[in-house]
Amino acid sequence: MSNENTQEVLFQDPIGLRLRQGREKAGLSIEQVGQQLKLPIAIIEAMERDDWPRLGAPVYVRSYLGSYLRLVGLPAALAENVAQNGATPKLVPLGTGSRMRHALKHSVRNMVYLVMTAVLVIPVVLVARHYQSAGSTQVLTLEPEVVSTPVPAPALASDPSLAPPMVSEPAAEAPPQTQAADPAPVMASMAPFQKTAPTSTELLLRFSGESWIETVDASGARIERGLVAGGSERRYAPGQVARITLGNADAVEVSFAGETVDLAPYRAANVARFAVSSGGEPAPAEH
């Protein structure tokens, strides 16, 4: 092996410098490269200065750098070396904490509801039972007293013809018996209000291989960002997310309302970016 070949093997130029030289040799500007690869100019500039953490996860490094290497005629295997040697950014999942806070708030709200229900219902039940027991034991019965008035005998009782006929007074008609009406018991239901299950459609993501995901809500707050293992799923209700970015989009199946969504209009170099409407349906992302 000659000294010149040995020096070339031992002292290779950085990949960023080789990318820039290949671009200049092809007569392309950074803007033209960004248009052909459908990537932001900031990503092209980061690759030419070897700023690999700027690209994010290794799956992005493989995708972006591999496309740039093929464009300028360099070996695409260099992207794999950079992805393996580059530092993986620390990913902090935010979705779990948010769900735990939501479950805690829901439990506290249910406890407050049960306590308030007990405070309002128990006194009503006790009062109703008191009046019910009092009405069943106190029954008033009015029995009228029948008084018979004797008829005085006449002075000449010896002559039956002069005796007045016997008249019997009719018994006083007794008034109908009255019974105190029992107060109807008042019963209050302590069963909690049953909520009906939502009937809205949802956005479903199925991961057949390792991929990278970033989700943002309508206010711009990040919901989740990190690697997702193969075999996982993500479900989003309408209005829960506003933008989704997927790395290694070949390993992700997106469906809305039970129908598979074609990611081809949203992909660039195996990375899919799309917005989500208020109804939960994917839509082109605004640049």
- For the chain, the structural domain boundaries read 12-85, 91-132+182-188, 199-284
pLDDT confidence tier of residue 60, bands split at 50, 70 and 90: confident
| Paired tokens of 254 | 């997106």
Q: Which of left, alpha, beta for 29 (phi over 0: left; psi -120 to 50: alpha)? A: beta
CATH 3.40.50.1000 fits 12-85, yes or no: no
| 138 CB-near residues (< 8 Å, 6+ apart) | 180
| Res 181: pLDDT | 47
pLDDT confidence tier of residue 166, bands split at 50, 70 and 90: low
Average pLDDT, integer, range 242-268: 88
Average pLDDT, integer, range 197-203: 63
pLDDT confidence tier of residue 10, bands split at 50, 70 and 90: very low
Residue 74 pLDDT greater than 80, yes or no: yes
Task: Tell me the pLDDT of the chain averaged across its residues.
Answer: 74
| Res 120: pLDDT | 85
| Res 124: pLDDT | 84
pLDDT confidence tier of residue 126, bands split at 50, 70 and 90: confident
pLDDT confidence tier of residue 136, bands split at 50, 70 and 90: low
More confident residue, 256 or 132: 256
pLDDT confidence tier of residue 4, bands split at 50, 70 and 90: very low
What percentage of residues in the chain have a pLDDT greater than 70?
A: 67
| Res 72: pLDDT | 86
Question: Which residue type, as a one-letter code, is found at position 45?
Answer: E
Instruction: Report whether 244 contacts 14 (CB < 8 A).
Output: no
| Res 149: pLDDT | 52
More confident residue, 96 or 208: 208
| Res 232: pLDDT | 94
| Res 113: pLDDT | 78
**∠ CA(11), CA(13), CA(14), 5° rounding?**
120
Q: Which CATH number fits domain 199-284: 3.40.47, 3.20.20, 2.60.40, 2.40.70?
A: 2.60.40
| Res 40: pLDDT | 92
Distances (CA, A) of 152 to 156, 159, 258: 12, 16, 106
Residue 176 pLDDT greater than 70, yes or no: no
More confident residue, 76 or 36: 36
Report CA torsion sign: 97, 102, 105, 106. Answer: negative
Report CA torsion sign: 116, 122, 128, 131. Answer: negative
pLDDT confidence tier of residue 240, bands split at 50, 70 and 90: confident
Residue 198 pLDDT greater than 60, yes or no: no
Residue 59 pLDDT greater than 90, yes or no: no
